[in-house]
Amino acid sequence: MLFTKPLAEIDESDLQTLVDNGVREGKEIEYKEALTLFSPEQKQEFLNDVSSFANTNGGLLFYGIRESKDDAGVPLEVCGLKGENPGKRINDMETIIRTGLEPRLLGVTIWPVSLPSHEDQVVLILSIPKSFAAPHMIKSSGRFYSRNSTGKFQLDVTQIRAAFELAGTTAERIRAFRTERLSRISSEVEIPAPLIEEDPKLVLHLIPLNAFSTGETFDLKPLNHAVHGKLADPLSVYDGEPTVRMRFNIDGFVRSTRTAYNATTDFGYTQVFRSGIVETVDTSLLMINAWNRKQINGSADPESFSGERYERKLVVAVKRYLELQKFLGSNPPFFVMVSFLGVKGYKIALQRSIHHIAEYTSEIDRNNLIIPEVMIDDFDVNVAGSLRPIFDAVWNAAGSDSSPNYDETGKFRFND
């Protein structure tokens, strides 16, 4: 790691240390004395630099540090950018990155570092993550770039093909992980909380694309906290707080819920893996009608679940787990995967009020519903809108054309 502090805490002395120690340019660092983004050629060269980092291992790009003319790549002076309006420059760069690359590159952070020794001058630092939507193409030229120890270079046809194959491999590894975890959950093999095996289960996976490529791990100790731990709350039909247990295990951190402290089984858990993957499993949303029929002689069909309630709860859960990703320091994009296990014969209830079910769908005709994933590419995404393809697919499985929980404009009907 080049710096031992967050980007927002970097100051002039940290930049001067790069010069004093002669930290040379390489695969993950590059210095630029000036920043000019006026002509199409200048914008294209900027995108060449940015995409080369994203298509390789990510890195830092500094504007306002002069290199040595005698020893290329060695920083000579923290000179700063003269006469710059940092806010405008950052907006310009963000716009060029957003519109100039295909596919869109996410997660680039740009930070101005003021220079007290150079009045009204700044160094702009771009922190560019390794992208798992790579390879990114410069739209204006149709070219692809990568990096090695001497800087950026243009990919040839063979290298481009290999880059696309690697991206496909990452996606397949994510899907294979899901399949393996669902098998364990179905058979109760080495899952982190005791569930009732015969109960139907709702499973949500939120998986960072970088979980299978960088080997990056996160410090999960801050989750063992009364407040921060709530970010890992499992799915639950209950609006109140059930009995919660949390602990570390070989995979990372677990937070599980049960109806009473002395109960012998849980109705749900969240496993946070050190790679940032979140897996949450719940039985309460699918079993509440059966439990109510048994305990209070409820009138709802025991083999049914509320379409409104489970969608609201999933939207809230995905928002919570995105906040968890942000807290851990993970970056988009993320795969969101929803699965239903053991639901053959179940119906979805169209609930018009808390006490009144208007009608039921047809029965689901298969035991397990493995719904195609959706991708979330920004922390500020409209979660309910992003999840609609998943919700529509579940209603399709029960014989309906789409989820009824969106209005005619496509807006989710609830404010969760």
Does residue 115 sit in the same domain as residue 204?
A: no
Q: Quick count: other Cβ atoms within 10 Å of Cβ 303?
A: 19
pTM of the model: 0.66
d(CA 144, CA 287): 51
Same domain, 222 and 337: yes
The domain boundary residue, chosen from 104, 125, 155: 155
Q: Looking at residue 213, what is its pLDDT?
A: 65
pLDDT at 354 over 60: no
What confidence category does residue 375 fall into, taking pLDDT thresholds of 50, 70 and 90? confident
Domain that holds residue 346: 170-397
Q: Output the pLDDT for position 378.
A: 81
Domain annotation covers residue 57: yes
Give the pLDDT confidence score for residue 351 in this predicted structure.
67
User: Is residue 413 one of the residues assigned to a domain?
Assistant: no
Total of domains in the chain: 2
Q: Residue 359 forms beta bridges with which residues? A: 350
Residue spans of beta strands (DSSP E) within 199-346: 201-208, 243-248, 252-258, 268-273, 278-282, 304-306, 334-341
Residue 164 lies inside a defined structural domain of this protein = no
How many beta carbons lie within 10 A of that of residue 270, not counting itself? 29
Q: Which of 150-164, 314-328, 349-363 has the highest mean pLDDT?
A: 314-328
pLDDT > 90? residue 172: no
Q: For a pLDDT cut of 90, what percent of the chain falls above it?
A: 62
- Residue after which a domain boundary falls, among 126, 155, 184: 155
Kindly state the tokens that stand for 1.
Answer: 């790691």
**Same domain for 230 and 150:** no
Same domain, 179 and 123: no
The CA distance from 167 to 171, in Å, is: 7
Same domain assignment for residues 136 and 43: yes
Note whether 309 and 357 are within 8 A (CB).
no
DSSP state of 221: G
Residue 127 lies in a domain: yes
Same domain, 181 and 150: no
Q: Are residues 119 and 261 in the same domain?
A: no
- pLDDT value at 353 more than 60: no
- CATH code of the domain covering residue 112: 3.30.950.30
Mean pLDDT across the chain, nearest whole number? 89
Q: Are residues 290 and 360 in the same domain?
A: yes
Tell me what pLDDT residue 215 has: 67
Residue bearing the bigger pLDDT, 82 or 60: 60
| Same domain as 255, residue 298 | yes
Per residue in 180-216, pLDDT (tens digit) is 999 999 988 889 998 988 999 999 999 998 887 666 7
